[in-house]
């Protein structure tokens, strides 16, 4: 059975109050969001998350047989990001390098790719990672609530801290958010109720129901439930469908760091693993682009032994520096100085 050998996260220190970006455009949004600095992007964030994950796992990079990178924020249309991170680790040219792009479900899909490769015995150990800093424009929904962050996991069968017991995917042709080649930023249908009920809620609920049926379990059997968090209220929708009490839901992060796209559910998972105990169980559900991947995890004894090597999520959450909306626009290059 494959599982997580080690994990790491990265969240930029800069924070913007979401209302500062919403009020000038006649809107409102609560909480804060994380913002990349001028010298940060999805690659640098993923690099630090990877460094944290490798140290937590305590393995030699030579043991990594494949690297899978998932994001909806790739700086490239035609080029992979994974080779950059493979080079950073000094991985052999024979190491498989694959990017899963174009969806905020990309990181979850990257994890499935790694688990499939391990199950097929093509590799013994893989690195799954992702980073998000989605493109936005002033006045758009994402301008107020799209955050930045990264997550990395070393996946294998030996020395695991949490094992994957099963998984189930539910996917349809559902369009809620998109960014075409000609677009400079993410667009949406501006029908939040439709997105919530027929997109997020339906797909996460159905994926979890399919998984529970496979395993012969009930949602109430799990210690924790971790769902994607475009905002903090929305995970309560599939939780209600599944009969999960609110106190079992992962703590909210969307009001602290914003909507982290494909990293949202995984940084929430990391925050749970930071405190989880052996034999506790986790029901996990990702979401993005009309697809949800549900997974069942069980925590192992090794988690306590490796905790001293961990850089906890709270360290990044508490390490923050607030910036103004004007500074944010300058960092995003939406506001530039005119010629002298």
For the domain that residue 260 is a member of, what is the CATH number?
A: 3.40.47.10
Q: Report the mean per-residue pLDDT for the chain.
A: 95
pLDDT for position 178: 81
297 shares a domain with 325: no
Range of the domain at 41: 3-161+303-331
188 shares a domain with 150: no
Number of domains in the chain: 2
Distance between CA atoms of residues 246 and 321, nearest Å? 31
- pLDDT over 80 (residue 206): yes
Encode burial over 237-271: b for 16+ CB neighbours within 10 A, e otherwise.
bbbebbebeeebbbeebbbbbbbbbbbbbbbbbbb
pLDDT, one tens digit per residue, over 154-205 is 999 999 999 999 999 999 999 888 888 888 888 887 778 888 999 999 999 9
43 shares a domain with 9: yes
Residues 6 or more apart whose CB falls under 8 angstroms from that of 316 comprise 9, 10, 11, 13, 149
Does residue 338 sit within a domain? Answer: no
Does residue 51 sit within a domain? Answer: yes
Distance between CA atoms of residues 64 and 61, nearest Å? 6
pLDDT for position 242: 98
190 shares a domain with 47: no
- pLDDT over 90 (residue 249): yes
314 shares a domain with 267: no
Average pLDDT over residues 125-142: 94
Residues 6 or more apart whose CB falls under 8 angstroms from that of 116 comprise none
131 shares a domain with 167: no
Does residue 202 sit within a domain? Answer: yes
Please, what is the Cα angle at 6 between 108 and 316, to 5 degrees?
80
Does residue 188 sit within a domain? Answer: yes
Does residue 139 sit within a domain? Answer: yes
pLDDT, one tens digit per residue, over 287-326 is 999 999 999 999 999 999 999 999 999 999 999 999 999 9
184 shares a domain with 248: yes
Does residue 60 sit within a domain? Answer: yes
pLDDT, one tens digit per residue, over 47-98 is 999 999 999 999 999 999 999 999 999 999 899 999 999 999 999 999 999 9
Look at residues 174, 10, 203, 15 and name the one whose alpha carbon lies nearest to residue 108: 203
% of the chain surpassing 90 pLDDT: 89
Task: Give the DSSP letter of residue 189.
Answer: -
pLDDT for position 340: 74
Give the global pTM: 0.96
177 shares a domain with 235: yes
Quickly tell me which residue has 């010629």 as its tokens.
339
Residues 6 or more apart whose CB falls under 8 angstroms from that of 154 comprise 4, 5, 6, 7, 53, 54, 56, 57, 59, 64, 125, 126, 127
Distances (CA, A) of 319 to 99, 130, 154: 30, 21, 25
155 shares a domain with 21: yes
122 shares a domain with 33: yes
Distance between CA atoms of residues 215 and 284, nearest Å? 14
11 shares a domain with 109: yes
pLDDT for position 335: 86
Does residue 65 sit within a domain? Answer: yes
Does residue 337 sit within a domain? Answer: no
144 shares a domain with 74: yes
Look at residues 30, 36, 45, 29 and name the one whose alpha carbon lies nearest to residue 15: 36
């Amino acid at each position: 059975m494959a599982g997580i050998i080690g994990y790491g996260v990265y969240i930029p220190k800069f924070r913007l109050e979401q209302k500062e970006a919403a009020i000038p455009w006649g809107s409102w949004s609560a909480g804060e969001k994380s913002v990349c600095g001028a010298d940060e992007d999805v690659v640098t964030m993923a690099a630090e998350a990877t460094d944290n994950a490798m140290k937590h796992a305590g393995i030699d990079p030579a043991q990594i047989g494949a690297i899978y990178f998932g994001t909806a924020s790739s700086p490239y249309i035609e080029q992979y990001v994974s080779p950059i991170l493979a080079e950073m680790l000094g991985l052999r040219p024979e190491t498989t390098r694959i990017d899963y792009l174009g969806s905020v479900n990309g990181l979850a899909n990257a994890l499935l790719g790694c688990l499939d490769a391990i199950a097929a015995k093509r590799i013994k150990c893989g690195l799954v990672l992702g980073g998000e800093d989605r493109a936005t424009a002033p006045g758009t929904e994402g301008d107020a609530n799209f955050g930045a962050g990264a997550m990395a996991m070393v996946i294998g069968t030996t020395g695991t801290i949490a094992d994957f017991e099963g998984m189930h995917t539910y996917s349809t042709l559902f369009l809620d958010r998109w960014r075409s080649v000609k677009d400079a930023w993410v667009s949406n249908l501006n029908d939040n109720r439709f997105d919530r009920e027929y997109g997020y809620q339906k797909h996460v609920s159905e994926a979890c129901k399919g998984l529970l049926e496979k395993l012969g379990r009930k949602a109430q059997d799990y210690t924790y439930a971790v769902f994607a968090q475009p905002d903090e209220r929305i995970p309560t929708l599939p939780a209600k469908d599944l009969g999960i009490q609110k106190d079992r839901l992962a703590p909210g992060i969307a009001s602290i760091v914003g909507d982290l796209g494909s990293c949202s559910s995984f940084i929430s998972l990391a925050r749970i693993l930071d405190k989880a105990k052996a034999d506790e169980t986790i029901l996990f559900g990702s979401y993005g682009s009309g697809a949800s991947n549900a997974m069942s995890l069980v925590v192992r004894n090794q988690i306590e032994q490796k905790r001293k090597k961990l850089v906890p999520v709270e360290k990044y959450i508490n390490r923050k520096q607030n910036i103004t909306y004007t500074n944010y626009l300058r960092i995003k290059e939406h506001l530039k100085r005119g010629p002298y």
